[in-house]
Structure 1
Amino acid sequence: MKHDSRPSLRRQLLLWLLLPQLVLWAGGGLLAYRMALSYAEKGIDQSLTQSVKALARQVKPVGSGLLIDFPKAAQDVLEQDPDDRLSYMVSSPPGQFLLGNQVMPQPNAMLSIGTPYLYQTEVDGTQQRVVALDVSYGDDSSPNLLRVQVGKSLAVQQRITRELVADMLVPLLLLGALLSMLVYAGIQRGLAPLKNLTRQLEHRTVETIAPTEETQAPSEVQALVDAINQLLGEVQRSVHQEKRFINDAAHQLRTPLAGLISQVELAQSAAQNDPDLTQRLKKVHTGAERSAHLVHQLLTLARSESQVNRQRVDVAALTRDVAREWTPRVLAHHMDLGYEGEDRVTIECDKLQIREALSNLIDNATRYCPAGTQITLRVKRSRDAVLLMVEDDGNGLTDEELSQAFQRFWRGSQVAGGCGLGLSIVQEIARRHGGQATIERHGDHGLRITLALSLRSGMVANPPFSAQPHGPSTSP
């Protein structure tokens, strides 16, 4: 099956509606993560600031020394949670350890006395948020500086951030999935009028061209429907005018041509003693017959392009009837006509068109094959089609001629009487019945033309295969 590379309207709508949603969802997730991280950081900073101020209040100057009132219980509280443990250090002067954790990196900036300074560093391989506070003590003659630092691991901050983001993004994801389904359903509903229009146009044929009936479509689609209906109306009028012209021309020409042929035959009878006049009248008679045959074929072609009137037909019996009708003319050309195949095969088809197709094939074989040719009509049933075949052992065609056989007005021989429309009519009739006509070599020199007709529902089962012997078709 050939891949259709043309862009899909549904795909483009889904792309332009869902892709921005996906981008916005991803951007919203990133923004939510940053906001959650910022709020968690602010909470930690506020907690650290309160802790460092409370710890600084426990360090009291006494004379030229310091009294650190930091009970063991408070120290245990600060260090009890390994994941959320507070690290602290008291140093005086700043950086010279007095109490707490000895491994506490110092800030790289100058601190203002009494103002907490927040920074981020790494302690024992983990990221920590640290606050430092400088406090002065002593008298004017010997001022001293005390630094209190409190740090907290960022693991808890990151966990809280992930939890906040998950709590926000999971509902957003569910809402996004629901929105995507609503968008898809909306697109399907919006494209439904186009699908209905496509279904209505898919089964249109030349004989069933008619305006569509999409009255509930949106205004944009209704404009397309109106334009298509206008075009279909023009095509319908053009087709009807063409068929009417062919029918009228064929009917108007048949009567004068028939009269011309009769008058020429009377003139031939009266001019038997004048060889030159007889020869001229013979050429006129041949031309008139050829014109009459052409008019008949044009009329048949016009009918074959009309609507197929299907009915239950036993094509095997129909083929035998056609063979009986043609037997006298075939025998007059010193040829043999016979039937072989199924006794009964019933399908839905246009009886008149199938009869015309078989008659055209027999007529072609009779016109262009030499005397002594055997013509065989066969009816066979395959898995999904009925095959009507006309075989002969005449002169056949070359490969190039076989490829052109179904072209209109193409003739493989200059034998008088033909007009090059017989096989075209057969092909058109086959196409109107959902099948096809094929031509191939038969035997060493002959041809086999097969008319394949698709089976319709309700086909009558056939009895066992029965072939009648090949012979002169006085009663095929």
Structure 2
Amino acid sequence: MSSTPSRQSLRRQLLLWLLLPQLVLWAGGGLLTHRIALSYAEKGIDQSLTQSVRALSRQVKPIGSGLLIDFPRAAQDVLEQDPDDRVSYTVSSPPGQFLLGNQNLPQPDQNPAVFGEPLLYGGKLDGQPLRIVALDVQYGDADAPQTLRVQVGKGTAVQQRIARELVADLLAPLLAIGVLLSLLVYGGIRRGLAPLTRLTDQLENRSINALQPIGMTQAPSEVHALVQAVNGLLAEVERSVRQEKRFINDAAHQLRTPLAGLISQVELAQRETADPVLGARLNKVLTGAERSAHLVHQLLTLARTESTARREPLDLAALAREVARDWTPKAVIAGIDLGYEGAERREIEGDALQLREAMSNLIDNALRYTPAGSTVTLRVEPHGTLTHLVVEDNGPGLGANDISHVFQRFWRASDQPGGCGLGLAIVREIARRHGGDAKVERVLPQGLRVVLTLG
């Protein structure tokens, strides 16, 4: 079971590989910038808290075995006046025994390692995150030393807000630069792929007969290499087509000439002999020679049809009337009424020789397989931008099963001598060369209609 390979756009892949890393780097840069901003803001808070705790500890003065805390009410109000950037403090001695400040300030998990050295840690107060510093100092007599702990905490809301503002101020210009860079990347990719687009258009708009080299002066070296490879292939195809045409013409000439001579000699022999047995045998030879000559002609026509289609302005209605007049003598001899109906004039782009061959094949089939007294009609019918070329008869027609095989090469619905099973295959190929198709329809009560749709 074969699967259709997925086709991905080169432009989409380039945009993905160029813009996606840029987006990832931009997001990573934003996270890194946020972390750096928080780190620097935290360092600023730590430095401020360290200075504050040392200043506060200097306001606690030992007096004998007691303490004098010189911390006026105005200083307390200054520390606690901003609810978003609140600074809380606690003085306890021994550590944990509340003396002054906010007794809800969290205690550290461990004591400072050295007296007089601040210990920084984090905590929460009233559900808000804090950065806290603790400082232990000694006082009292040498025989009875005592420890005083001073703590100062500050909320991190302002710190986080400053970090967010800093990140926004940094990333907004980077985002604008990223958008501009993305537009430049897209424009660069589009400009870089333009030669491939032009090459595709040139190849798509060419017919099978346009095998001249592709010209592309302004393109990158990679595209030039591709163009050279395509031109080399076109040159090989052109040589092959020329050789095929030459072979077909030579073969047709070499076959038609002896067949024509054989037919002439058999006809002369028939007139000169009176022996009925010999005459019957000569008649079989003549039938076979005529069928061979017809087959050679059809094969040559089919080969030319598959390789050539020169479309020029022509009047299809006038051409159809001319073909009908050319076949009228044979129709009269066969006792068949052949006529034209339809448009008086219909201009199309087409190959007159090929269309004449298609009509001749259809009329020949109709005359060959339709009994005397029948009617064969050739029509040209406009249908919008399309044109229908129709050959209809009221003969015996074909069965439903036979209609599905009529366009197959060498398939014949009758054993009647003269046909070779290529006429309708040639007709369909000509129709497709003219941007359309061919179909066969049954006519009621009897008969057959062949319709060529031409673009």
Other structure's SS at 1:207 match: coil
Partner of 1:181 in structure 2? 183
Task: Return the alpha-carbon distance in structure 2 between the equivalents of residues 300 and 12 of structure 1.
Answer: 47
Partner of 2:423 in structure 1? 422
Deviation at 1:5, TM superposition (A): 4.0
Task: Return the alpha-carbon distance in structure 1 between the equivalents of residues 17 and 247 of structure 2.
Answer: 52
Check whether the contact 1:138–1:144 (CA below 8 A) recurs between aligned residues.
yes
Task: Return the alpha-carbon distance in structure 1 between the equivalents of residues 134 and 303 of structure 2.
Answer: 103
1:63 aligns with 2:88: no
* Aligned-partner residue type, residue 25 of structure 2: L
Partner of 2:227 in structure 1? 225
Deviation at 1:52, TM superposition (A): 0.6
Task: Return the alpha-carbon distance in structure 2 between the equivalents of residues 6 and 387 of structure 1.
Answer: 37
Partner of 1:261 in structure 2? 263
TM-score (norm 1): 0.90
Between stretches 358-367 and 100-109, larger displacement belongs to 100-109
Partner of 1:407 in structure 2? 408
Between stretches 395-404 and 280-289, larger displacement belongs to 395-404
Deviation at 1:215, TM superposition (A): 4.2
Partner of 1:473 in structure 2? none
Instruction: Identify if the C-alpha distance between structure 1 residues 201 and 311 changes in structure 2 by more than 3 Å, giving closer, same or farther.
Output: closer
Partner of 2:46 in structure 1? 45
Partner of 1:460 in structure 2? none
* Aligned-partner residue type, residue 282 of structure 2: L
Between stretches 411-420 and 34-43, larger displacement belongs to 411-420
Deviation at 1:174, TM superposition (A): 1.8
Partner of 1:378 in structure 2? 379
Check whether the contact 1:91–1:147 (CA below 8 A) recurs between aligned residues.
yes
Partner of 1:295 in structure 2? 296
Other structure's SS at 2:420 match: coil
Partner of 1:73 in structure 2? 74
Other structure's SS at 2:409 match: coil
- Offset from partner CA, 1:38-66 (integer Å, 9 cap, x none): 11111100000011111111111222222
Partner of 2:14 in structure 1? 13
Unaligned 5+ runs, structure 1? 455-476
Deviation at 1:172, TM superposition (A): 2.0
Partner of 1:464 in structure 2? none
Deviation at 1:123, TM superposition (A): 0.9
- Offset from partner CA, 1:350-375 (integer Å, 9 cap, x none): 22222221111000111122222211
1:332 aligns with 2:343: no
Mapping 1:390-401, distance limit 5 Å: 390-401=391-402
Partner of 2:450 in structure 1? 449
Other structure's SS at 2:404 match: helix
Task: Return the alpha-carbon distance in structure 2 between the equivalents of residues 26 and 64 of structure 1.
Answer: 60
1:84 aligns with 2:85: yes
Mapping 1:81-120, distance limit 5 Å: 81-111=82-112, 112-120=114-122
* Aligned-partner residue type, residue 201 of structure 1: L
Task: Return the alpha-carbon distance in structure 2 between the equivalents of residues 432 and 104 of structure 1.
Answer: 92
Partner of 2:161 in structure 1? 159
* Aligned-partner residue type, residue 149 of structure 1: Q
Task: Return the alpha-carbon distance in structure 2 between the equivalents of residues 101 and 165 of structure 1.
Answer: 34
* Aligned-partner residue type, residue 190 of structure 2: Q
TM-score (norm 2): 0.94
Between stretches 104-113 and 226-235, larger displacement belongs to 226-235
Between stretches 59-68 and 301-310, larger displacement belongs to 301-310
Instruction: Identify if the C-alpha distance between structure 1 residues 94 and 165 changes in structure 2 by more than 3 Å, giving closer, same or farther.
Output: same
More relative contact order, 1 or 2 (CA 8 Å, 6+ apart): 1
Task: Return the alpha-carbon distance in structure 2 between the equivalents of residues 295 and 345 of structure 1.
Answer: 33
Partner of 2:147 in structure 1? 145
Task: Return the alpha-carbon distance in structure 1 between the equivalents of residues 305 and 8 of structure 2.
Answer: 38
Unaligned 5+ runs, structure 2? none
> Which residue of the other structure, out of 201, 204, 213, is the alignment partner of 2:203?
201
Instruction: Identify if the C-alpha distance between structure 1 residues 224 and 310 changes in structure 2 by more than 3 Å, giving closer, same or farther.
Output: closer
1:22 aligns with 2:32: no
Deviation at 1:237, TM superposition (A): 1.4
Check whether the contact 1:247–1:302 (CA below 8 A) recurs between aligned residues.
no
> Which residue of the other structure, out of 171, 174, 177, is the alignment partner of 1:172?
174
Deviation at 1:225, TM superposition (A): 2.6
Task: Return the alpha-carbon distance in structure 2 between the equivalents of residues 204 and 403 of structure 1.
Answer: 32
> Which residue of the other structure, out of 233, 236, 239, is the alignment partner of 1:237?
239
Deviation at 1:18, TM superposition (A): 2.0
Deviation at 1:14, TM superposition (A): 2.1
Between stretches 153-162 and 400-409, larger displacement belongs to 400-409
Partner of 1:439 in structure 2? 440
Mapping 1:304-383, distance limit 5 Å: 304-383=305-384
Task: Return the alpha-carbon distance in structure 1 between the equivalents of residues 204 and 107 of structure 2.
Answer: 81
Other structure's SS at 1:348 match: strand
Number of corresponding residues: 451
Task: Return the alpha-carbon distance in structure 2 between the equivalents of residues 400 and 215 of structure 1.
Answer: 56
Instruction: Identify if the C-alpha distance between structure 1 residues 14 and 300 changes in structure 2 by more than 3 Å, giving closer, same or farther.
Output: same
- Offset from partner CA, 1:128-163 (integer Å, 9 cap, x none): 111111111122122221111110011111111111
Partner of 1:54 in structure 2? 55
Deviation at 1:4, TM superposition (A): 8.7
* Aligned-partner residue type, residue 308 of structure 1: A
* Aligned-partner residue type, residue 372 of structure 2: A
Partner of 1:124 in structure 2? 126
Deviation at 1:99, TM superposition (A): 1.6
Deviation at 1:306, TM superposition (A): 4.4
Partner of 1:459 in structure 2? none
Check whether the contact 1:312–1:348 (CA below 8 A) recurs between aligned residues.
yes
* Aligned-partner residue type, residue 130 of structure 2: Q
Task: Return the alpha-carbon distance in structure 1 between the equivalents of residues 6 and 165 of structure 2.
Answer: 45
Partner of 1:466 in structure 2? none
Task: Return the alpha-carbon distance in structure 1 between the equivalents of residues 259 and 160 of structure 2.
Answer: 102
Task: Return the alpha-carbon distance in structure 1 between the equivalents of residues 421 and 92 of structure 2.
Answer: 115
Check whether the contact 1:311–1:350 (CA below 8 A) recurs between aligned residues.
yes
Task: Return the alpha-carbon distance in structure 2 between the equivalents of residues 5 and 445 of structure 1.
Answer: 49
Task: Return the alpha-carbon distance in structure 2 between the equivalents of residues 108 and 328 of structure 1.
Answer: 119
Task: Return the alpha-carbon distance in structure 1 between the equivalents of residues 438 and 96 of structure 2.
Answer: 103
Task: Return the alpha-carbon distance in structure 2 between the equivalents of residues 317 and 221 of structure 1.
Answer: 48
Other structure's SS at 1:319 match: helix
Check whether the contact 1:206–1:239 (CA below 8 A) recurs between aligned residues.
no
